[in-house]
Amino acid sequence: MRKLENSELDRLNVEEFKQIEKSPIIIVLDNVRSLNNIGSVFRTADAFLVEKIYLCGITATPPHKDIHKTALGATDSVSWEYRENVLELLKELKQDGYNALSVEQAENAVMLNDFKVNKDQKYALIFGNEVKGVSQEVVSNSTNVLEIPQYGTKHSLNISVSVGIVVWDLWAKLKV
């Protein structure tokens, strides 16, 4: 078995990426502090043709060298927008037909492995602050809450890891 060179991976260029049909997934980052996490989310969004990223509250925006360090150019391919008020954004997204899903540990949360996707539905996945998570106000204004099952001693995962897990899971379920 031989490791492939980047030139053999047959990836889209930025213009092709912008033209291709996207998955019906939007990522909302609310009050995410780490610039490296933000950059990592851009790379995940690029990998799975996410429609758009919304950066809300204190979440930093490109261009920034620390975002660029982990995004590796994905800030050029993935559509993004800054919105100060996440609650106003959620209201708009729900009016536009998005199922607003907070990714958090909450009463009556649906475990990710049990979540059934509707292929005709659009999804807005909301991820919160690295320490405080998604705020109660945002959870209360979400359509539903998804929880990633965890079985060890820790109470949470890094936000960029959580985004990767949830986006991959929805992508896989939508593509089946």
Q: Where do the structural domains in the chain lie, given as residue ranges?
A: 19-175
Single-letter code of the amino acid located at 6: N
Assign domain 19-175 one CATH number from 3.40.1280.10, 3.40.50.300, 3.40.50.970, 3.30.1490.20.
3.40.1280.10
Global pTM reads 0.96
Cα(43)–Cα(45) distance, integer angstroms: 5
pLDDT tens for each residue of 21-64: 999 999 999 999 999 999 999 999 999 999 999 999 999 999 99
- Helix or strand or coil: residue 12? coil
